[in-house]
Amino acid sequence: MSRKKFKKYTSGPRNLVIMAALLAASLLLLTKLTDLSQAIEKITFSTFLDKVQADEVKEVKISGAGIAGELKNGQQFETVAGGYEKTWDLLREHKVVFEVEPANGKMGYLWYAFLLLFPLIAFAGAWFAMRQGKGGTSGGSGGIFSMGKSRAKVFMPSTIKENFESVAGANEAKEELKDVVDYLRNPKKYTRLGATVSRGVLLVGEPGNGKTLLARAVAGEANCPFYSISGSDFIEVFVGVGASRVRDLFAEARKTAPSIIFIDEIDAVGRHRGSGMGGGNDEREQTLNQLLSEMDGFETHKDPVIVIAATNRVDVLDRALLRPGRFDRTVTVPYPDLKSRELILAVHLKKIKLGDDIDAVKIARGTPGFSGADLANLVNEAAINASKKEQDFTTMIDFEDARDKVMLGKESKSMSLTEEDRRITAYHEAGHALVSLMLPKELDPLHKVTIVPRGSALGVTHSLPEREKYNTNKVEMLAKIVMSLGGRVAEELVFNEVSTGAYSDFVNATRIARRMVCHYGMSDDVGLVIYEQDHGKYQYSEKMAEKIDSAVQGIIDSCHQRSRELLSENRSKLDALAAALLDKETLYASEIYEILGIEPRQDLRLVK
């Protein structure tokens, strides 16, 4: 090894202290072994016999031809037996305590050799451990001496293939991040006028919406190194390790500036300080304090290093972390809208073989509330369905089954329903579907109805939104309640009794009605005041609670009556639809229109 490398692996106060301590321990052990060897006197066999006859020997240990013992004055001695036949009788005669062991050949010498070599082995092992710790990259685990080193994974520009074109949708988020990219590409453009670009960008959004992908896209667009680490990687059981890792991470990033540090799940380390007790909390707070100092502390750095963090719990972050100068720009990454879902599906559909009937727009319309990860999973499940059936291509039927599985659960083939249960379920779902057809202007178009059990649901009625809705009026909300109660009303009309199958419908109807009263000012009796609950406790009087309950009950009762009127007036259509469901189990909208003799509703598409 060259002198330069040796100096690299042995430099630093900590390593020098450790090596000095190991060297001192080795010297001490060698000294003890030397003293021990010098304390044992080697004598001839004839001298040994003379001392036995003179009653000077206290005890001996005989191993093969070797004799080791102790004189009565405490002196240790060793000798080699000369084959004297009367040795045993002589020892007994002079009452010398003796012990005989099996001959061990050269093992005794090997033991001493091991004791002599052990310090050298220990010294070499410690030096190798320090070399491994120093030799690891900033993202490696290293050895025990690299515990304070950053565990961030480093991606150089040549390895980052993502850019803004790789991120489907999220247009507003990408617009926000273009300023960061421009600053990293040309920092002098801003510093020449004294401007300071955000040092920290906080990506906020639910899991699966592409926060990490956006951060990598920023690095790809800026063509700069990307340091990726999770918030939990900073925390260790030893206090001070997290702060050391933060210092090391920023030091490495500044060496390669302009660069990006990405901290995923920052809420693991950035929670409110003083929210707990104990050593673990002290370690987290020290780590957070160091992060605050590195981003904008007493010692300011001019290096263009941008910190991008991601979380879905921005409410728990420490306020000092969100102040201007640190994470002063918050970029929301929402669930994709209809157009964004189409773009995301287009990316994932390229990876599988598709049939001619695939309609990406229809799939996007049927997946409101799906994240990017959910859509990727949907495409994968559809491909798995097609593979199980040994098809050459993935069809729309596979996507329908995949969506039902993701939303409701796997089809319950082992559930054996009686004919009476199937009949009740058929009328229940027919009631939902028929109300939807009777209120075409207020509700989304009907897509399909099925009585195939999935998860905990015995049947389901699907609607297909025509477009993204960002505002809902009172008439539409009342229509949703009427449709939710259609299943129970159908049971009442046909069987003159009720079942437990309408529980989830009641939950949905009650939630809508209560929001109308407490949140949206849609009740004349309660007025325009918002009435909230705080951790389960009502923030209003008992008298007002009674008025709210009465208003909610009034909405439910009126919608129940409206649903009953619609189904009573169209009883023949209800019977026909239920009979078709019992026969085919799953009906699509086109089939339902034909069975009931209703003119198909024209689906509206987004204006492009």
As annotated, the active-site residues are 429
Residues sharing a CB contact under 8 Å with residue 12, sequence separation 6 or more, in sequence order: none
203: β partners: 310, 331
What strand order describes the sheet that includes 40-42? 40-42, 76-80, 66-71, 57-63, 97-101
For residues 63 and 103, the answer to whether their CB atoms sit within 8 Å is yes
Residue 31 half-sphere exposure, CB side, CA atoms within 13 Å? 6
Let me know the angle formed at the C-alpha of 158 by 190 and 182, rounded to the nearest 5 degrees: 15
Within 10 angstroms of residue 142's Cβ, the number of other Cβ atoms is: 20
70-78 contacts: CB < 8 A, separation 24 or more? Answer: 75/41, 76/39, 76/40, 76/41, 77/40, 77/41, 77/42, 77/43, 77/48, 78/40, 78/41, 78/42, 78/43
CA distances from 138 to 143, 156, 256 (A): 12, 13, 12
Question: What does DSSP assign to residue 516?
Answer: H
For residues 286 and 243, the answer to whether their CB atoms sit within 8 Å is yes
For residues 180 and 306, the answer to whether their CB atoms sit within 8 Å is yes
Q: Is 188 helix (H, G, I), strand (E, B) or coil?
A: helix
CA distance 113 to 105: 14
* DSSP string for residues in 373-430: HHHHHHHHHHHHHHHHTT-SSB-HHHHHHHHHHHHH-SB-TT----HHHHHHHHHHHH
